[in-house]
Amino acid sequence: MSLRVSGNNYSNYESMYQMMRTLQASRTAAASRLNQGQAVAPINRVPRVKSGSTQYADTLKFVQNYGKGMADVKLSAFRLQAGNSSGVFSGLDIQSSDTSVASVDKTFRPRKGTEIDLEVKSLAQAQQNQSQALGASEKAADDSAMDFEVTSARGRSVRVNVSDMGVDGAKKTNEQMMQEAADQINGSRTGVRASVAKEDGKVSLVLSSEKTGESNSFTVQGRMGAAEGAQNVAAEGQNARYTVTQNGNTVSRSSESNKISLDYGRVEATLTGTGSAKVQSGVDSDQVVSAVKELVSSYNEATDFLKSNSSRGQGTKDQYDSFSRDIANERTLKAVGLSYDKSGKLQVDEKALKKALKDDFEGTKEILGGQFGLADRITQRVDSAMSTSSGKLVDQDISAGMDRNQESTFSSFRYLSNFSGTGPYSLGNYYTVGLLLNTLG
């Protein structure tokens, strides 16, 4: 998380830094004179915190975790605010209205207002041949040896030669013969794949072109034997055929693959079925759902943290009271898939939220990220929490059971009150002071 320093605070930091430098220089000079046997005037020392001061370490850790928790909530809320140019409501995405017809795989530099009507008439498919079905465990019939050739449309071929007799002179089973044929075909580079289909105890040899499209067809010729029928085409290889309407212009297209390109290469899509679909630009609803879940999670964690530490100081208790109040009425929350569970924690109904985004996107966007929306209300609570002085957050820790020396030790938390009026960056200022102290350490 980056740190922002206001002009007034910068002067405070510089003054504090110079003061500590002067104090350090005075001590160094005093030590030098003492070594030379010269008299040295007493110096008011700033109490040092002993490494064994567990109470101080625990309180310090709380303040640090408090700042981190609030920063996490604020960042999560910022992602949902509609005015955020890098938020989830500002990023463009291309989506399909019907993924059973076409799904969008990738988008490159999507343009606002993109709208494409897609009409899919046929899908690209591969050629397929299938032999007769024979009993898998039955012995091969006489004269069932295979000797045929598979040739692709591109001229590549493979010769398949399978005997019906094993090396021991025993008859092979039909399944053994067809598996041998499939292995020989798959060991070639013809662009044709073979498999043995088995159903109800029967097997058949299935041949398919590796790629879809009319130009990836193949032929089978020769003595088929047990694979009789595999020379016949069961399904023709074909191209996908579809029309694209954009900006009032309709164009008919053909593709050997179901992977297509739209909007001059800005969109990569996959045709999944026949019918109509609209491909258009919009906000990615999945990102919105993810951002809402992240905000709810960080807000619940911060509320639990405040509750478990509310006894440390009045400031912490006040912030817990603020965070534990409802951020909106039940009806408003329900409209965007949110609600409170029995323990008082926010919860998200993803299905309901997605439906709200689909049915009334603008209304859902306004409730979540608009002015005075849920993200804005949470941000106001976080700003109030981050502007609370560290001294007030832990005033009970400071005053509980301390002697005078311990009171001096904890006075650093009270000094931080000077920085509490600068808004949501006050706790960040706490770390800057820490850096100054480390510089002189």
Consecutive 10-residue averages of pLDDT for the chain (441 residues): 42 47 54 56 43 71 92 96 89 89 91 92 98 96 96 95 94 97 96 97 97 96 97 97 96 97 95 96 89 97 96 94 95 96 95 92 94 95 92 84 50 48 44 45 46
Q: Are 66 and 388 in contact (CB under 8 A)?
A: no
Whole-angstrom CA distances from 224 to 134, 159, 198, 228, 397 are 14, 12, 19, 5, 91
Per-residue confidence (pLDDT) for residue 432, from 0 to 100 = 44
- CA-based end-to-end distance of the chain: 24
Select from 278, 274, 276 the least CA-distant residue to 263. Answer: 278
Per-residue confidence (pLDDT) for residue 398, from 0 to 100 = 79
Per-residue confidence (pLDDT) for residue 402, from 0 to 100 = 52
Per-residue confidence (pLDDT) for residue 278, from 0 to 100 = 95
Per-residue confidence (pLDDT) for residue 56, from 0 to 100 = 77
Per-residue confidence (pLDDT) for residue 67, from 0 to 100 = 92
377: exposed, middle or buried (C-beta count within 10 Å: 0-12, 13-18, 19+)? Answer: middle
Per-residue confidence (pLDDT) for residue 85, from 0 to 100 = 84
Determine the residue type at 282.
G
Whole-angstrom CA distances from 306 to 319, 385, 423 are 7, 10, 20
Per-residue confidence (pLDDT) for residue 132, from 0 to 100 = 96
Rounded to whole angstroms, how far apart are CA atoms 366 and 374? Answer: 9
Per-residue confidence (pLDDT) for residue 91, from 0 to 100 = 79
Select from 395, 381, 389 the least CA-distant residue to 322. Answer: 381
Determine the residue type at 246.
Q
Q: Which residues of 414-437 are buried (b: 16+ CB within 10 A; e: fewer)?
A: bebebbbebebbbbbbbebbeeee
Per-residue confidence (pLDDT) for residue 304, from 0 to 100 = 97
Per-residue confidence (pLDDT) for residue 399, from 0 to 100 = 79
365 CB contacts (<8 Å, ≥6 apart)?
82, 89, 283
